[in-house]
Structure 1
């Protein structure tokens, strides 16, 4: 019995000495409950909207102030013409435009009916529907408050218009998201596992002393995954276009360039993971925890980033998938040109260089 107890103590000591095991046992559950608790939400919060006020009277100003005072919306800008709506949406920051008709206050007093149009960016159907419901609720609450102090029965009618996805097809949101997840996992996770396998089996040392240079070895290891990722991307786009009628409004050349750029970024991240992993298991756990969960939860694929707490919004900025989803939606659904998505493109390029530089510094010719 003493030997058995001593054996159990040894196993506890072994676990406590291994920092990675301690992180997996206690760190991952904490991180997961925090991510799932704060990131998974269907509510809206601090959603950026624009105002097109054609009336500019007391009533419209009071409504705008009421919307601005809520925590649901952040009035980003005021536009002056209907022609600006399209360009505002293409920039990707504003998710809805609130349009007040001309003589809104006058019609409300004389006809007891005022019309407000809610134009939403429906590239995220759930988000667009939720925004419309929240604004309608605020307008209804405002009219109820006015009816308490005035004899007239004011009624504010809300008209909804959806840009880019008028039928609210959820597949328009999931095709870009699924494509991003698959490319990230195939490119990053499989690359990190492949290189770590060579290190774990001891064959990496043989490759490094071969006539091939180290960078040639790495390129040779990752090239098949570039090819497979491109094939995956083509298959997803073809299925999305022909089966689910997913539009591709923008340039195919630009879409192909951005896709290959994201694949290279994911490969660079996979190489970085391989430099800090000693085993395939470690590489897989790091990839799953460090890539899969953030890509699904913090990229804006399923849940709106603007509704998350500020720390998670900041963390989302270092996730390449977030920027790629913005790019691919802009090209496919909005027909955006490079002039619209150049900032996001530069961010992905910068991340690629950063991952590569860190990998080179951590790369060791002699494996310990």
Structure 2
């Protein structure tokens, strides 16, 4: 019994000395519950919208004030014509446009009924449907408040139009998201074990005595997996177009180049994980547990980022998957080009450079 107690005591000391195990044991559950608690929500908050107010009268201004005063919507832009609606959507920031016709107040006075149009970006059908319902509810409440102030009964009717996805097909949301998740996790996992495998097999000494620089080692580890991941991406795109009937409104070549850029970014992140991990098991654990939840929850794949708490919105900016999902939806569903997606592209390039730079630094530290 004394030996058994000593053995248990030794195991406790061993666990407490291993900081990585302690983080996985205690840190990961805390991170997961916080992410699930704050990121998973069916509600919307601070959704960016634009206003096309062709009436520009007291009634329309009161309606706009009612909508902007809510916590659900943030009026970011006032547009002057219908052609500007498409431009606002293609930039990717605006999720809905409220279109008030030119005779809004006159129709309320003469016919007691006026209509407004709610146009939503339905590349994310769940969010689009929720936005339309929330805005419709505010418009209905506006009518009730207006009727309480005057003796006649006036009704404001909202008509909804779903841009880019009029049938609200969920596949339009899931294909770009699943494509991103698969490329991110598979690419990162493939390279995350590359350097740790060298350490475990004892072949790291060969790299130590070779004239190959750390940069060459990093690029050499990444390069073969680029081709394998490109095959993955090609299969996913072909399946999405020919099996799931996803439209491809934009340039196929631009989609291919952006996919390669994202793949390289994911592979570079995997190399970074490999340089800071002592074993293949640790690297795999970090790749799966450390990347899967942020990629799914904080990329905007399923849940709108604008509805999350502000700290999580800032954290989402360092998730490469967020930018790639914007790129894929922009090219495939909206048909936009690099002139619109340059910011996301530059962000992915910068992340790739940072990942490779940190990997080189960590690699040098471990070799010294």
Give me the TM-score of the superposition, normalised by structure 1.
0.96
Residue 223 of structure 1 and its aligned partner are, at CA, apart by: 2.8
User: For the residues of structure 1 that align with 2:349 and 2:4, how far apart are their CA atoms?
Assistant: 56
Residue 215 of structure 1 and its aligned partner are, at CA, apart by: 4.3
User: For the residues of structure 2 that align with 1:78 and 1:364, how far apart are their CA atoms?
Assistant: 53
User: For the residues of structure 1 that align with 2:207 and 2:218, how far apart are their CA atoms?
Assistant: 10
User: For the residues of structure 1 that align with 2:211 and 2:33, how far apart are their CA atoms?
Assistant: 49
- 1:210-221 alignment to 2 at 5 Å? 210=210, 214-221=214-221
Aligned to 1:226: 226
Aligned to 1:199: 199
- 1:219-258 alignment to 2 at 5 Å? 219-258=219-258
User: For the residues of structure 2 that align with 1:211 and 1:350, how far apart are their CA atoms?
Assistant: 28
Aligned to 1:140: 140
Residue 205 of structure 1 and its aligned partner are, at CA, apart by: 2.1
User: For the residues of structure 2 that align with 1:206 and 1:326, how far apart are their CA atoms?
Assistant: 42
- 1:1-368 alignment to 2 at 5 Å? 1-210=1-210, 214-364=214-364, 367=367
User: For the residues of structure 2 that align with 1:49 and 1:326, how far apart are their CA atoms?
Assistant: 17
Residue 149 of structure 1 and its aligned partner are, at CA, apart by: 2.7
Residue 285 of structure 1 and its aligned partner are, at CA, apart by: 1.4
With over 3 angstroms needed to count, the CA separation of the structure-2 counterparts of 1:221 and 1:98, relative to structure 1, is: same
Residue 224 of structure 1 and its aligned partner are, at CA, apart by: 3.0
Residue 207 of structure 1 and its aligned partner are, at CA, apart by: 4.1
Q: Which runs of 5+ in 1 are unaligned?
A: none
How many pairs were matched up?
368
User: For the residues of structure 2 that align with 1:104 and 1:211, how far apart are their CA atoms?
Assistant: 76
Question: Quick check: 282-291 or 173-182, which moved more?
Answer: 282-291
Q: Which runs of 5+ in 2 are unaligned?
A: none
User: For the residues of structure 1 that align with 2:69 and 2:213, how far apart are their CA atoms?
Assistant: 61
8 Å CA contact 1:272–1:359 kept in 2: the answer is yes
Residue 98 of structure 1 and its aligned partner are, at CA, apart by: 0.2
User: For the residues of structure 2 that align with 1:3 and 1:147, how far apart are their CA atoms?
Assistant: 83
Q: Deviations over 1:138-177 (max 9, x none)?
A: 1111112222232212111111111111111111111111
Secondary structure of the residue aligned to 1:282 is helix
Residue 272 of structure 1 and its aligned partner are, at CA, apart by: 0.8
User: For the residues of structure 1 that align with 2:10 and 2:132, how far apart are their CA atoms?
Assistant: 60
Question: Quick check: 193-202 or 347-356, which moved more?
Answer: 193-202
User: For the residues of structure 2 that align with 1:191 and 1:20, how far apart are their CA atoms?
Assistant: 20
User: For the residues of structure 1 that align with 2:317 and 2:176, how far apart are their CA atoms?
Assistant: 18
Residue 195 of structure 1 and its aligned partner are, at CA, apart by: 2.5
Q: Deviations over 1:161-199 (max 9, x none)?
A: 111111111111111111111111121121111321121
Secondary structure of the residue aligned to 1:363 is helix
Residue 289 of structure 1 and its aligned partner are, at CA, apart by: 2.6
User: For the residues of structure 2 that align with 1:221 and 1:361, how far apart are their CA atoms?
Assistant: 16
User: For the residues of structure 2 that align with 1:343 and 1:132, how far apart are their CA atoms?
Assistant: 28
8 Å CA contact 2:215–2:360 kept in 1: the answer is no
Tell me the C-alpha RMSD between the 2 structures: 1.5
